[in-house]
Amino acid sequence: MSTMTTPGLLRVDPEESAYLDALENQTMFIFREAYRRFENLAMLWSIGKDSTAMLWVARKAFFGRVPFPLVHIDTTMKHPVMIEFRDQIASEWGLDLRVGTNREALDSGMGPDKGRFECCTALKTSALQRLIEQHGFKGIFLGIRRDEEGSRAKERVFSPRDRDFQWNFKDQPPELWDQFNTAYGDDTHVRIHPILHWTEMDIWRYIRREGIPVCSLYFSNGTHRYRSLGCVPCNSNFPSTASTVDQIIHELEHTTTPERAGRAQDHEKAYMMQKLRSLGYM
């Protein structure tokens, strides 16, 4: 199975194109604003469709280069084709890739059987926290979207985390007219969300227009496909025959199932995602 799939037929509807241009321009603006304001930036790349599309816009914002490192938090439980895809893209696009893994937790036997909340916190949140401390990153680009899930809907574009990595969602400063809050103390880092305003459908339409390569797991293997990618034990596929980007878009236009239905950590208990995120989860 090929790890990369580039959409075939390129259809450009002028209205759709103008709409996607607006989304893309806003994201470029955010990238450039962060690059201007912060010394030590990195971008979290989950290998999924969102952060891959976001990476594509970063290349547009910086004229073909990506002037900051990419961080992949590898729980070692990712689908093997994701890792293949990652390494292939990283070499083709000349990316500075840094991989972060919480070895200690893995060595002591951490896994979803210890509880999904505990596992996500140890293997993702803590691994990210260590990597940020190790490299002294002051700003992290994250490909989250408002329409994904409730607590993400409440995010700001520039969202500070305190020394203990926590998100104070009850007292966020105002953000207006694209004048972002970009000055923070040294004991904090800022999460920057360049595609917060995009929807799942926007991402797929953009992938179609631009011909962005995405991991093959999003396409049907004949009977099933993945809609959102994560770790193998907590990530389920669903019955689908959509094997091209056009077919995926058609399928999404007619579904009423939420995007993250196949992500077990969202459904473990009430407000799990809010709790994970207030501790620093993506």
Partner 1 sequence: MTIQNISRQPSVEPALRIVIVGHVDHGKSTLIGRLFYDTGAIPAERYDEIERTCKAQGRPFEYAYLMDALEEEREQNVTIETTQTRFRSSRRGYLIIDAPGHKEFLKNMVTGASEADAAILIVDGEEGVREQTRRHAYILALLGISQVMVTINKLDRVGFDRARFDQVAAETVHFLHSIGLTAQFLVPISARQGDNVVERSSATPWYQGPTILDALDAFSPAALDRSRPGRMPVQDVYRWDDVRRYVGRVESGTFRRGDRVRFLPSGRESRIRSIERWPEARVPAAAAGTCVGIHLEDEVYVEPGEVMSRPQDGPVPAVEVHASVFWMGRTPLSLGTRYGFKIGSADAQAEVVAIEERIDPVSLEVRQRYAEWLGESEVGRVVLRLEKPVAADTFETNPKLGRFVLVEQGVVRGGGIIRSLGMASGARSVRVIELGERLLVDPSGALIDLRSEGGDIEIAADARFLARVRAGERVALRFSGMRPFGAFLNWAWEHFIPVTFRREQEGVWVSCGAPEYASATEHYLDGPGI
Q: Which residues bind partner 1 (CB under 8 A)?
A: 13, 15-16, 18-19, 21-22, 25, 28-29, 32-33, 35-36, 59-65, 146-147, 149-151, 153-154, 156, 169-170, 172-177, 179, 181-184, 197, 199, 205, 249, 253-258, 261, 270-271, 274-275
Structure tokens at 103: 């070895």
Shorter beta-carbon distance to partner 1: residue 32 or 130: 32
Q: Which residues pair with 160 in a beta bridge?
A: 190
Asked if 121 contacts 276 with a C-beta cutoff of 8 angstroms, the reply is: yes
Spatial distance between the Cα atoms of 115 and 146, rounded to a whole number of angstroms: 27
Closest to partner 1 by CB, 217 or 252: 252
For residue 194, the 8-state DSSP code is: T
Distance of CA 4 to the CA centre of its chain: 18
For the bound state, the minimum distance from the C-beta of residue 85 to partner 1, rounded and expressed in Å, comes to 22
Distance CA 38, CA 265 (A): 32
- Shortest Å distance, C-beta 145 to partner 1: 10
- Which of helix, strand or coil describes residue 82? helix
3-state secondary structure 235-278: ECCEECCCCCHHHHHHHHHCCCCCHHHHEHHHCCCCCHHHHHHH
Query: Which of 78/116 has CB closer to partner 1?
Result: 116
- The number of beta carbons lying within 10 Å of the beta carbon of residue 168 is 11
Question: What gap in Å lies between CA 82 and CA 79, rounded to an integer?
Answer: 5
| Cα angle 118-200-190, degrees, rounded to a multiple of 5 | 55
User: CB of 30: closest distance to partner 1 in angstroms?
Assistant: 10
Q: Is 16 helix (H, G, I), strand (E, B) or coil?
A: helix
Least CB distance from residue 229 to partner 1, whole Å? 19
Backbone angles phi, psi at 238, to 5 degrees: -140, 160
Q: How far is the CB of 199 from partner 1 (least distance, A)?
A: 7
User: Which C-beta is closer to partner 1: that of 9 or that of 176?
Assistant: 176
In angstroms, give the least distance from the CB of 172 to partner 1. 7
Q: What is the rounded distance in angstroms from the CA atom of residue 57 to the CA atom of residue 59?
A: 5
User: Which one, 74 or 148, has the nearer CB to partner 1?
Assistant: 148
> In the complex with partner 1, which residue's Cβ is closer, 13 or 96?
13
Q: How far is the CB of 91 from partner 1 (least distance, A)?
A: 19
For the CB of residue 10, give the shortest distance to partner 1 in the complex, in Å: 15
Q: Decide whether 107 or 186 has the Cβ nearer to partner 1.
A: 186
For partner 1, give the closer residue by CB, 112 or 262.
Answer: 262
DSSP state of 172: P
